[in-house]
């Protein structure tokens, strides 16, 4: 257990990659996890793994599509019924386009990237921030950004656009939150995930694994305070 005490942490996109690694690391430190994803089999697997290793904790895993406002509305309702307001929210759910020049990216693929990465984050904020405010939570919100949300790169323009949007969204919402809360944009660095492999191919294996990243990220996230509101951070 961390010295700061047990927290309840909501993580979107928890079925694989950074989300899964972060959920496992935080749970192993004694924190309660609320995870959501569209992949029910992966949710079941993660729940089973955490139930066996953390039998005294009441983790909650729910099927939700952050792209849909109605799905996130239902997620918030279920979370309130079963666990109450989370202390920390990590907006991690994300996707990337296949490497292509912008004029060769199919419109439905462009929409999918923006709907997941930007609208998905906004949907979570829409339904959970008012709950945090009403509960007078010293709430922390972490929006997963990218180095490509602070620079440009060929062939991934939709993804870059979405992460630049996350940076701007985070800074703007920081000015709207009440005192005591914080929202930050967090660049995880370059990590060997399925998303990286879609861009880098086999060379993605040269970069650190999600599990190694989660060790550092968990410590950083747990130590965020209201003084960090509006910050653009890097693990």
For residue 183, list its beta bridge partners: 141
**pLDDT value, residue 55:** 73
Residue 103: the pLDDT is 98
User: pLDDT value at position 155?
Assistant: 97
Coil vs helix vs strand at 143: strand
Does the residue 220 lie in any domain? yes
The predicted structure's pLDDT at residue 200: 86
Query: What pLDDT is recorded for position 207?
Result: 82
Residue 123 CA: distances (Å) to CA of 51, 115, 186, 214, 226: 29, 10, 18, 25, 22
In a domain, 65, yes or no: yes
The CATH number of whichever domain residue 135 belongs to comes to: 3.40.50.720
169: three-class secondary structure by DSSP: helix
**Per-residue pLDDT, 192:** 81
Tell me which residue of 25, 2, 1, 7 sits closest to 210, measured CA to CA: 25
Residue 166: which domain range? 6-232
CA angle 77, 79, 80 (to 5 degrees): 65
In a domain, 146, yes or no: yes
159 flagged as catalytic? yes
Q: How far apart are CA 14 and CA 22, in angstroms?
A: 8
Q: Which helix (H) or strand (E) holds 144?
A: strand 140-144
Q: Name the active-site residue from 110, 148, 159, 213.
A: 159
Residue 204: per-residue pLDDT: 83
Domains of the chain: total:
1
Distance of alpha carbon 121 from alpha carbon 114, whole angstroms = 10
Whether 1 is in a domain gets the answer: no
Q: Helix count (H) and strand count (E) of the chain?
A: 8, 7
At 33 the pLDDT is 97
Low-confidence ranges of the chain (pLDDT < 50): none
- How are the residues of the chain apportioned to helix, strand and coil, as percentages rounded to the nearest 5? 50, 15, 35
| Within a domain: 23 | yes
């Amino acid at each position: 257990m961390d010295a700061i005490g047990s927290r309840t942490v909501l993580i979107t996109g928890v079925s694989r990659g950074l989300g899964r690694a972060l959920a496992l690391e935080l749970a192993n430190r004694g924190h309660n996890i609320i995870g959501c994803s569209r992949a029910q089999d992966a949710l079941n697997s993660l729940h089973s793994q955490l139930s066996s290793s953390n039998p005294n904790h009441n983790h909650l895993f729910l099927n939700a599509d952050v792209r849909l406002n109605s799905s996130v509305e239902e997620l918030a309702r279920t979370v309130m019924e079963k666990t109450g307001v989370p202390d920390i929210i990590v907006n991690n759910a994300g996707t990337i386009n296949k490497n292509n020049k912008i004029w060769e990216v199919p419109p439905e693929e462009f929409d999918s990237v923006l709907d997941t990465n930007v609208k998905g984050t906004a949907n979570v904020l829409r339904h959970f921030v008012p709950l945090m405010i009403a509960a007078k939570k010293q709430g922390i919100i972490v929006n997963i950004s990218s180095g490509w949300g602070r620079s440009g790169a060929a062939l991934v323009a939709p993804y870059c656009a979405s992460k630049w949007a996350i940076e701007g969204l985070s800074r703007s919402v920081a000015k709207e939150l009440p005192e005591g809360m914080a929202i930050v944009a967090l660049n995880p660095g370059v990590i060997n995930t399925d998303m990286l492999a879609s861009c880098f191919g086999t060379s993605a294996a040269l970069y650190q694994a999600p599990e190694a990243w989660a060790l550092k990220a968990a410590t950083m996230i747990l130590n965020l305070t209201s003084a960090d509101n509006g910050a653009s951070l890097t693990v």
